[in-house]
Amino acid sequence: MSLRDARVRAALKRAAILDPDTPRLIGAALTPDLPEPGPQVPLFRDFAKVWFDRTKQGLSNGKPIQQNWTTLTTYVFQ
């Protein structure tokens, strides 16, 4: 994709986001296991837990699974 095409696509997406009459593409059907919106702002840790649960199914054994969560705990959740 050229830079020009990327800029045009980004402008179109921004316009769609700012237009209140445009239906939202992100909904419960596309992200069924993400935390529900509520009065409290969800933490990054909540979204990381969902990502981790999805990712660990594709990992082969316990060591990479543990390394992923340990890396998040050590470097991200500080």
Predicted local distance difference test score (pLDDT) of residue 53:
85
Q: Per-residue pLDDT for 71 more than 80?
A: yes
Domain region containing 7: 3-75
Show the DSSP H helices in 19-61 as ranges: 44-56
Phi, psi of 40 (to 5 degrees): -100, 140
Total-model pTM: 0.44
DSSP 42: P
**Does the pLDDT value for residue 14 go beyond 80?**
no
pLDDT value, residue 66: 86
Instruction: Give yes or no for residue 26 having a pLDDT over 60.
Output: no
| 21 SS3 class | coil
Residue range 50-77: average pLDDT?
84
What pLDDT was estimated at residue 29? 45
Number of domains in the chain: 1
